[in-house]
Structure 1
Amino acid sequence: MAHPHDVPTSAQLLEAVRQWLERDVMPAVDARLQFHGRVAMNLLAMVEREIEIGPDQAIEHSQRLLTLGCADDSELAQRIKNGEMDDRLDEVRALVYASVIDKLQVANPKYLEK
């Protein structure tokens, strides 16, 4: 994918900050700050993953919704609530499952390891 802002990309910048925290800052601070530093590094990694894979996930999610005739999650929820999807529950489950997998790939891909 072409990036309009050249390099480094925003994901690469986040990675550089995360690596700096891990390599240079974390060893020099006390245990309390190390804990907060690990939290910050995890958040940066999450944002990196969302930047990298989020756009493709959004396209795929929209396509899955369209196969059910829904424009967005709100419409799907309303149609489920109204009983309009009762005859397509297997498809709805598959969509929800795929959405959960996508969210875990961003939030914490380690949860997907077997």
Structure 2
Amino acid sequence: MIEHPRAEELVEAVARWIEGVRPGLAPRDAFLARVAGNALGVVRRELAQGPTAEAAATARLAALLGHAGDHGELTAELCGRLRAGEMDRDTPGLLAALKANIQDQIAIDQPSYVPEPDS
């Protein structure tokens, strides 16, 4: 097994390189370089936080649905139950589980996003 460079190290190296060359680029290319750098930030956070977020989401879905399973299976089952009308916004725990799952995903995708307070 190859131990180095790890995915996190590769992402960081490319992000640093982009930031180093970006100031000398034409405006359009500088913008695209910033977009690429932001995408690498999402990848970096996904590598660092994704497994924990997915495990937490899986546990929440398993508790909600009443049985264990992998994240994809549980998500598909929840979607099916929602489509069939077997679950809705009044289902105990549903909105709390979805909100927690979304907050974990936003922390990876858009960490500077600040949601409006609940009303």
TM-score when normalising by structure 2: 0.80
The separation in 1 between residues aligned to 2:92 and 2:86, in whole angstroms, is 13
Task: Please give the root-mean-square deviation of Cα atoms over the aligned residues, in Å.
Answer: 2.2
Aligned positions, number? 110
Deviation at 1:112, TM superposition (A): 3.3
| Alpha carbons 2:89, 2:95 under 8 Å: kept | no
Stretches of structure 1 lacking an aligned partner (at least 5 in a row): none
**Which letter maps to 2:30?**
Q
Q: 3-state DSSP class of the match of 1:111?
A: coil
Distance 1:5 1:95, change over 3 A: farther
Counterpart Cα distance in 2 of 1:35 and 1:87: 41
Give the conservation status (yes or no) of the 8 Å contact 1:105–1:112: no
Match of 2:80? Answer: 78
Task: Compute the displacement of 1:85 (Å).
Answer: 2.5
- Report the counterpart of residue 91 of structure 1 in structure 2: 93
Kindly indicate which of the two structures has a greater share of residues assigned to helix: 1
Query: In percent, how many aligned pairs have the same letter?
Result: 33
Shift of 1:89: 2.5
Decide whether the 8 Å contact of 1:57 with 1:102 is kept in 2: yes
Whole-Å separation in 2 of the counterparts to 1:90 and 1:44: 37
C-alpha contact 1:65 1:95 (8 A) present in aligned 2: yes
Residue 54 of structure 2 corresponds to: 58
Name the CA shift for 1:12/1:29 in 2 (closer, same or farther; >3 Å): same
Q: Which moved more, 1:95-104 or 1:82-91?
A: 82-91
Whether contact under 8 Å (2:53, 2:105) holds in the other structure is: no
Note if contact 1:46-1:107 (Cα within 8 Å) is conserved in structure 2: yes
**Segments ≥4 residues shifted beyond 6 Å:** none
Aligned to 1:110: 112
90 and 5 in structure 1: CA distance in 2 versus 1, 3 angstrom threshold: farther
Unpaired runs of 5+ in structure 2? none
Taking structure 1 as the reference length, the TM-score comes to 0.83
**Residue 44 of structure 1 aligns with which residue?**
40
- Secondary structure (helix, strand or coil) at the match of 1:110 reads coil
